[in-house]
Amino acid sequence: MNLKEKIIDKIDILKRNPRLFAHVIKNVVKTRLGLFPKTPKEGNRFSTDLEVKTLQKYACIARVGIVEVGVLDGLTTREMAKVAQAPIYGIDPIIPDSMNERLIGNEEKIKQNLNFYPKFYFFKDYSFNVVKNWRQPFDFIFIDGDHTYEAVRQDFLQWFPLLQSGGTVAFHDSAPVTSTIPGGFIGWPGPIKLVAELKNSPALEFLEVQDSLSVFRKK
Ligand SMILES: C[S@@+](CC[C@H](N)C(=O)[O-])C[C@H]1O[C@@H](n2cnc3c(N)ncnc32)[C@H](O)[C@@H]1O
C-alpha cells in the first residue's frame, strides 16, 4: 500500500468514527500546544502499558511456546520474557518496517534485550519462510510483522493451524488507541480489517481488545 492509499484508508476510518475524529483533533491540538510530555529517545514506546500488560498476561500462562512475528529490537519480546516460562521464538528478517520505513530492527539490540532469558530463539527470516519447516509447539502467538492486509492475513492463515487448541493469538495495531498516545493512534488498516473478519470465524473466540491489541482463543 503506498502513502496515498494509506492516507485515504486512515481518512476513511476517521470518517466512519466521528468521536475518534474529534479525539484525534483534540490530541493534535494538545500536541501542538506542548501539553503532552515528549517521548524520550531511548525507551521510545511502540506499545502502550496496557498492551504490554495484556501481552504479559498471555505470555505468563503459555506453557509450551510463544511465537512473536515481528521483533524489531526485541522490546515487546523482552516484556514477555520477564514473565514467561515457555520458550520464546522471535522471527524478523530485519527489514524497514511496513508502517515506518525509517524503522529497522537491530540484532545486537535484540540480543542485549533478551540476554537474561535463556529460552529465547531468534530466527532472522520472513515469517512465511520460517513457518514452512516449523516443528516447535506453541500456545501463544503475537502477530506484529508486516502490517499490510495481505501479509497479516497470510501470517494468520499460515501460523494458526500450528497453534495448539485453546491457545491464543494477538494482533497489534488492530484497533484505535484513544487515551494514552499523544496525537491519538487509529490503528492500522490491515490488522483492523483482518480482526473484523476473524470476529465472525467459528474457529475463534474473541477474548478482548486492549488499546490496539486484539486477542482471540483458538477453539
Ligand atoms: C512493528 S515492528 C515489531 C515491533 C515489536 N513487536 C515491538 O513491539 O517491539 C514490525 C517488524 O516486523 C518485521 N517484519 C516485516 N515483515 C516481516 C515478516 N514477513 N516476518 C517477520 N517479521 C517481519 C519488520 O522487520 C519489523 O521489525
Helices within the chain (DSSP H only)? 3-15, 18-32, 49-59, 75-81, 107-114, 127-130, 149-159, 189-198
- 145 Cα nearest atom in ligand 1: 12
Residue 38: inside a domain: no
Q: Is position 41 within any domain?
A: no
What is the tally of structural domains in the chain?
Answer: 1
Q: What interhelical angle do 189-198 and 3-15 show, nearest 10? A: 50
Q: Is 46 in the pocket of ligand 1 (CB under 6 A)?
A: yes
pLDDT in tens, 49-58: 999 999 999 9
For ligand 1, whether the C-beta of 92 sits within 6 Å is yes
Domain membership flag for residue 54: yes
User: How far apart, in whole angstroms, are the C-alpha atoms of residue 31 and residue 181?
Assistant: 10
State the residue range of the domain holding 175.
3-33+46-218
CATH no. for residue 162? Answer: 3.40.50.150
Residue 40 falls inside a structural domain: no
Per-residue pLDDT of the chain (219 residues; tens, 9 = 90+): 666 776 676 677 667 676 666 656 665 555 455 444 333 332 334 799 999 999 999 999 999 999 999 999 999 999 999 999 999 999 999 998 777 888 899 999 999 999 999 999 999 999 999 999 999 999 999 999 999 999 999 999 999 999 999 999 999 999 988 776 666 788 899 999 999 999 999 999 999 999 999 999 999
pLDDT of residue 67: 99
Q: Which set of grid coordinates corresponds to residue 61?
A: 500462562
**Separation CA 26–CA 32 (nearest Å):** 10
Ligand 1 proximity of 75 Cβ (cutoff 6 Å): yes
- Tell me how far the alpha carbon of residue 172 lies from the centroid of ligand 1, in angstroms: 11
> 174 lies in a domain?
yes
Q: What does DSSP say about strands 120-123 and 88-91: parallel, antiparallel, or unpaired?
A: parallel
Distance from the CA of 26 to the center of ligand 1, in angstroms? Answer: 30
Whole-model pTM?
A: 0.83
Residue with cell 535463556: 118
Ligand 1 atom with the smallest distance to the CA of 68 is 6
